Amino acid sequence: KMKRILLLLILLCIINLDLSALTMKEKIQQDLSKVGVKQEIIDETITFDRLYAMDDSDLPLDIGEIIGIFERIHEKDERNYVAAKKVLQFYGRGISYRIREDYDEKIKNSENEEEKKLYEEEGETLKKDLTVYKKYYDAFMKYNPYEYEKLLTSYEYYTIINNEKKAEEIKKIVKEKYKNTIIDKMLPNDELRDGITKYYNLGRLVEKKVNEELKFIENDTTKEKYRISDEEIYNLKLQYYMAKIWTYLYSVDREKGIEIAINELDGIKADENAKEYNFRLENGIMHWLLMIGSGDKTYGKKLFNMKMEKRSTKMYKWANNEEDRLREKYPELFKTEKEDGDNAEREDEIEN
């Protein structure tokens, strides 16, 4: 009788865990319904979020065109803070590189008028882009009802625009208010970053720290409370694994990094849907591993046989077909330069 009771309790726990799991599709649906966005717009947002879930170097469209898609979705309803966040996501990459350029100094040290004019134009373009970037940041902050999401997005925003003081203030708030929660783990880890970028010989220490963080994420009970989706959790795990693997790959123990990738990446616990959602990140990881391991035939063969490699290849084929289908279904979102005038020109500037 006790065994039956115990079995029943275990089954109930499993059922409860399944019920509490949240997908990105469900999260977007719940969030946008809550603020009153129409179902038609919600459906578009979910569709394009999955297609362009992650930023990588091999997107089927130019970054500027993808930004345009989410801008046009956002224009339909300014309360769609999910679309605003997607604009921030893709916009941020281009800005983060250029914001660190000291255009005033470059203008001052220009060797000729042509060079001076070029830097002046680049400086003005950056100012315009920062204005647009802030517009979508403000839209996200206005309509998103969750404090922890606002804090994480604010940290990212101020980091990208190079306001380190403000970013550190926000980081301190998160570390104090959300200590020992999944939110705390979603902030960049300085200890790991320093270990990876400066001290490659500390591979084992970084690995130990990563394993501790991964164990916390796996056993964390705050994921449901803060509505972190399965896809976001898997993405977070991948980032920590990248930290562990990267440290070894750029040390004298490169083989150790490749072996960790081969032996551990496919074994990360996650729903298949969550893995497929992150196929662009998976593809980036595999592309990077295959480049580094290309000199060893044994490693190369094992890497090509990994589930992650096969899944990302399959999903890229899906993405190409899906983009063709969506281009026919939503032609107004895939505007060309002639159809979209100034906006397309600005998107080209972003991509350049």
Three-state secondary-structure class, residue 265: helix
Angstrom distance (rounded) from CA 132 to CA 25? 27
Q: Quote the pLDDT of residue 340.
A: 52
* C-alpha dihedral sign at 219, 225, 230, 236: negative
Q: What is the mean pLDDT of the chain?
A: 85
pLDDT at 74 over 80: yes
- Annotate 79-104 with b (16+ C-beta within 10 A) or e (fewer): bbbbbbbbbbbbbbebbeeebeeebe
């999260």: which residue's tokens? Answer: 27
Please tell me what DSSP assigns to residue 60: S
Give per-residue pLDDT as tens, 130-174.
Answer: 999 999 999 999 999 999 999 999 999 999 998 999 999 999 999
The predicted pLDDT at position 56 comes to 54
Report in angstroms the alpha-carbon separations of 309 from 135, 224, 242, 315, 325: 38, 30, 15, 10, 25
Q: What is the pLDDT of residue 35?
A: 97
pLDDT in tens, 334-346: 875 545 555 555 5
**Closest Cα partner for 55 from 184, 160, 197, 207?**
160
User: In whole angstroms, how far apart are CA 278 and each of 186, 272, 284?
Assistant: 16, 10, 10
Mean of the pLDDT values across residues 283-298? 87
- Residue 278 reports pLDDT greater than 60: yes
Percent of the chain with pLDDT over 90: 56
Distance CA 224, CA 258 (A): 33
The label of the residue with tokens 């208010």 reads 177
pLDDT in tens, 190-207: 656 555 555 445 567 778
- Is 73:333 a contact under the CB 8 Å cutoff? yes
